[in-house]
Structure 1
Amino acid sequence: MLNEKLVRLRGIFAEMDRALIAYSGGIDSTLVAKVAYDVLGSRALAITAVSPSLLPEDLEDARIQAAEIGILHEEVETHEMNNPNYTSNPVNRCYFCKSELHDTLKPLAIERGYPYVVDGVNADDLHDYRPGIQAAKERGARSPLAEVGVSKAEVRQLAKELGLPWWDKPAQPCLSSRFPYGEEITVAKLQRVGRAERYLRQLGLKNLRVRSEKDTAKIELPAEEIKQFVLTTELPVLVAAFQDFGFMYVTLDLEGYRSGKLNQVLSLMA
C-alpha cells in the first residue's frame, strides 16, 4: 500500500517535468524534496523562506538536508512581519503567512520556468485547522503528499525507507504558533521563544514547546518526561536563563506537550 503511494508520488513529479518545492526543512517538505529530486534531478528546486519566525538552527538543518539529498536549494526572504493582519495574530494568522510565502514563490517559479509550486502538506493536515492550506490552494500550489493520501506516520515511514536520517525529526512549526491568538507577535518575542527552545534542546530535550503568553514562558514536554526533567534540571539556572531571554515568569505545563494545544480555544469561540 505504501509502496503504491510512493509510485504515485513519483508519477506526479514525472508529469510535472519541473517543480519548485516550498521547503522548510521539516520532514514533510524534506520527503517531498527527496522524491522530487529522485525523479527530476536538476529540474527540481527547493526554496526556503527566511524570516524571524524560522529558527536559525532550522534554517541550517534545511541547508544540510538539501545538500545531502542533492537538490538545488535557494533561500528567499519573506516579510509577513510587515503585515498587521499577521502580527495581530488572529485565528487565521497562518493564512496571511502562507499568502506571503506563495505570493513570493509563485512569481519566482514563473520567472524561472517552473510550472508548479508544491508544498509538504500531508493527508492528516487536511483534518486539522490549517487556514494556510487555503492560501496555498488559492495561489495554485499543489500538495502531492495529500493528493495521494500520505499520512504523517507514513511520511516518516517513507522517509526512513528512502534513507533520510531525519525521518524521526520532531515537528517544528513556525515560532508564531507559540503565542495565543490575539497577542501581538513581534520580532523580539519570536527571538526570545527561539532562544528558550534552543536552550532546552541543548539540555538534550527533543519534543518540546515554549508557549509564550505576555511575560510568561510555559514549557511543554511529553508527560512521561516531566518528572525526570524536574528531578534532573537545575531549575534556578533555567529560570535565570529564561529571564535573560526576556521572560519574567517560567512555568511547566503539567498536562504535557500536545501539538496544536493553542487551537483548543477555537472550540470555545465557535
Structure 2
Amino acid sequence: MSIDKLEPLKRLFAEMERALIAYSGGIDSTLVAKVAYDVLGDRALAITAVSPSLLPEDLEDARVQAAEIGIAHELVQTHEMDNPNYTANPVNRCYFCKSELHDTLKPLALERGYPYVVDGVNADDLTDYRPGIQAAKERGARSPLAELGITKADVRALAKHLGLACWDKPAQPCLSSRFPYGEEITIAKLQRVGRAEASLRRMGLSTFRVRSEGDTARIELPAEQLKEFVLTTDLPTLVTTFQSFGFLYVTLDLEGFRSGKLNQVLPFAVANTHG
C-alpha cells in the first residue's frame, strides 16, 4: 500500500536533520515539502525558482500551499533564459534548466547550513527521458521519492492521506515544454503561451496543454472532452482571444491530450544527438 511508504519517507528526512527543498508547487515537491516540514519543522526550507517559464498561477499555488503546510518559503530568481544552450531548445534542454536551478540552490544551501538539497523526482520519472535528473545528481541533489520507489500514484495517495488539497492537481511542466525541440524559446513566446493557457483555465478547464509551434497554437484536451468543447465553446471568440496574444492560427489536437506528447520525437532526435 502507498501509505506504507510514508514512514520510510519520514525516517529519511529525520536522518537528514536539515533539508532545503527545490519546491515548484507541483504535487511531488509539495508532498516532499509537507513531509519534510512534519519531520524537521523549521529545519526545512522550501525554495521556489522564479523565471519566465513559471506561470504566475503556479507561483501563487506554490505560495498558498507552502503557507498551508507551514513551511518557510522563499523565492530565488534563476536565469536559464540567459543561456543559449537552453533557449535553443535542444532535446536536453531540461539539463540546462536544472543545472541553473541547482547551481543556484547548492551554494544557498551551504551558506544557510543545509547539508541536503532535495527535489520531487519520483520513481516513475526515472523511466522517462529526463536529462534534468542527471544535472541535479551531478550537483549532489537527492530525490527522496525516487530513492524509496515512490511512484506518481503513491504520491497522490500519500498527499490525499495527509490532507493536501492539491493531491489530484494535474501535472504542470514548465512553459518551455510547450515548444517542439529545436524551436527557439523567447520570453515573448513563453508569455504568449502562458496567457493562452490562463484563458483556458478561466473557462473552467483543468487538464490541457497549449502547444506552440511557430505562429500556431494547438490545444490539447482529453479525447473524451473534444466533442463537448467544440459544441459548447464560442470558437470565433476563442480564436480572437488567442490572436490577441500573438498567435495567427488556433487548432485543436484530434488525438487528445497526452502528457509529454512532444517527446514522441525523442528516440530519433536523441539518437541523432549522439551521432
Indicate the TM-score class for this superposition, using the shorter chain for normalisation.
over 0.9
CA RMSD of aligned residues (A): 0.6
Does residue 32 (structure 1) correspond to residue 32 (structure 2)? The answer is yes
- For 2:260, the aligned partner's letter is G
CA contact under 8 A between 2:80 and 2:86: conserved in structure 1?
Answer: yes
Deviations 1:189-208 (A, max 9, x none): 00000000000011010000
Using the size of structure 2 for normalisation, the TM-score is 0.97
> Aligned runs of 1:90-169 on 2, under 5 Å?
90-169=90-169
CA distance in 1, matches of 2:248, 2:234: 18
> Aligned runs of 1:184-195 on 2, under 5 Å?
184-195=184-195
CA contact under 8 A between 2:221 and 2:256: conserved in structure 1?
Answer: yes
Secondary structure at the residue paired with 2:169? coil
- For 1:186, the aligned partner's letter is T
- For 1:246, the aligned partner's letter is G
Aligned to 2:246: 246
Structure 2 gap ranges (5+): none
Does residue 233 (structure 1) correspond to residue 254 (structure 2)? The answer is no
Secondary structure at the residue paired with 1:48? strand
- For 1:180, the aligned partner's letter is P
Moved over 6 A (4+): none
Q: CA deviation at 1:155?
A: 0.4
Secondary structure at the residue paired with 1:129? coil
User: Among the aligned pairs, what percent are the same residue?
Assistant: 82
Q: CA deviation at 1:255?
A: 0.2
- For 1:140, the aligned partner's letter is G
Question: How many positions carry a matched residue from both structures?
Answer: 270
Q: CA deviation at 1:5?
A: 1.3
- For 2:22, the aligned partner's letter is A
Aligned to 2:47: 47
Secondary structure at the residue paired with 2:48? strand
> Aligned runs of 1:169-184 on 2, under 5 Å?
169-184=169-184
CA distance in 1, matches of 2:225, 2:91: 30
Aligned to 1:212: 212
Using the size of structure 1 for normalisation, the TM-score is 0.99
CA distance in 2, matches of 1:50, 1:233: 33
Deviations 1:104-146 (A, max 9, x none): 0000000000000000000000000100000000000000000
> Aligned runs of 1:56-95 on 2, under 5 Å?
56-95=56-95
Deviations 1:139-179 (A, max 9, x none): 00000000001100110010000000110011100000000
Deviations 1:183-230 (A, max 9, x none): 000000000000000000110100000000000000000000000000
